[in-house]
Amino acid sequence: MSEQTAVQEQQVASKTVKFEIQRQDTPDSKPYWESFSIPYRPNMNVISALMEIRRNPVNADGKKTTPVNWDMNCLEEVCGACSMVINGRPRQSCTALVDQLTQPIRLEPMRTFPVVRDLVVDREFMFDSLKRIKAWIPIDGTYDLGEGPRMPERKRQWTYELSKCMTCGVCLEACPNVNDKSNFIGPALLSQVRLFNAHPTGAMNKDERLQTIMSDGGIGECGNSQNCVVACPKGIPLTTSIAAMNRATTVQMFKNFFGSDHMVD
């Protein structure tokens, strides 16, 4: 090892990363802030930093504390489990690199959802909304008839972009219309309606899905702030989907009024 390399490694070893984490012991207790300082390592992300804090749960004052709780799974921005608010911005902590963040790095839970403990939230509301819009392709026996209808390649390409949604909740956290005074299901769910209605088999339940988003908590609650499309970690064209669903529900409204027999889809 050269002297220069040894000096560089010593400089890295002497560096620290400072965190301020909003903690909450129970769903009903008051949140509080706790500071941590951990040794720096090259290419650290927020998850690896939290792992270091869990390994040695001592705060910046040198006092032993409880390990910080958070959710994670895939560690490659696919599952959506590790969503949290990092320096005021909702995002995935597995792809949030320490070198690209201003210190002290502030970690908070997404307040759109009920907090379970520390950075862990309950996203049940979002999954219940997926059930409401029937976000699946029903199996009704037609699979015995062989292959289903093929999607045109052009449609397949844009629906693939919609299918990247990992139900992370970041767009709901960013949306000002998703709050405790509204039943708005959020932009991700509206985009999922577009995705499943575009599928040749999923279109069998098209009217039912549109009826759902025309009811309480549906597309009428969207204020078009467009925060969602900026926050989405997958770059999904959420505002385009919302515009498409606005048109589709308008057609559905006329269908309901005049009767489907007199309308051309």
Give me the number of domains the chain comprises. Answer: 2
* Whether the Cβ atoms of residue 138 and residue 205 lie closer than 8 Å to each other: yes
Identify the pLDDT of residue 258: 85
Q: What is the CATH number of the domain that holds 170?
A: 1.10.1060.10
Same domain, 130 and 236: yes
- Range of the structural domain that residue 250 is part of: 124-262
Same domain, 134 and 206: yes
Same domain, 150 and 68: no
Same domain, 129 and 114: no
pLDDT in tens, the chain (265 residues): 554 454 345 445 569 999 999 999 999 999 999 999 999 999 999 999 999 999 999 999 999 999 999 999 999 999 999 999 999 999 999 999 999 999 999 999 999 999 999 999 999 999 999 999 999 887 767 667 777 788 899 999 999 999 999 999 999 999 999 998 899 999 999 999 999 999 988 898 999 999 999 999 999 999 999 999 999 999 999 999 999 999 999 999 999 888 755 554 4
At 113, which amino acid appears? F
Identify the pLDDT of residue 265: 47
Same domain, 20 and 39: yes
Same domain, 228 and 251: yes
Same domain, 133 and 258: yes
DSSP string, 187-198: HHHHHHHHHHHH
Dig out the tokens for 107 from the structure.
């970690």
Same domain, 253 and 159: yes
Q: Last residue of some domain: 121, 154, 173?
A: 121
Q: What is the CATH number of the domain that holds 44?
A: 3.10.20.30
Q: Last residue of some domain: 106, 121, 136?
A: 121
Same domain, 152 and 172: yes
Identify the pLDDT of residue 149: 81
What are the CB-based long-range contacts (under 8 Å, 24+) for 47-51?
47/72, 47/75, 47/82, 47/93, 47/94, 49/17, 49/19, 49/98, 49/105, 50/93, 50/107
Q: Last residue of some domain: 85, 100, 121?
A: 121
d(CA 214, CA 171): 20
Same domain, 16 and 104: yes
Same domain, 137 and 246: yes
Same domain, 11 and 112: yes
Identify the pLDDT of residue 262: 52
Three-state secondary-structure class, residue 77: coil
Three-state secondary-structure class, residue 139: coil
Q: What is the DSSP letter of 129?
A: H
Three-state secondary-structure class, residue 43: coil
Identify the pLDDT of residue 168: 96
**For residue 104, is the peptide bond before it cis, meaning its omega torsion is within 30 degrees of 0?**
yes
Identify the pLDDT of residue 234: 96
Question: For the whole model, what pTM was predicted?
Answer: 0.87
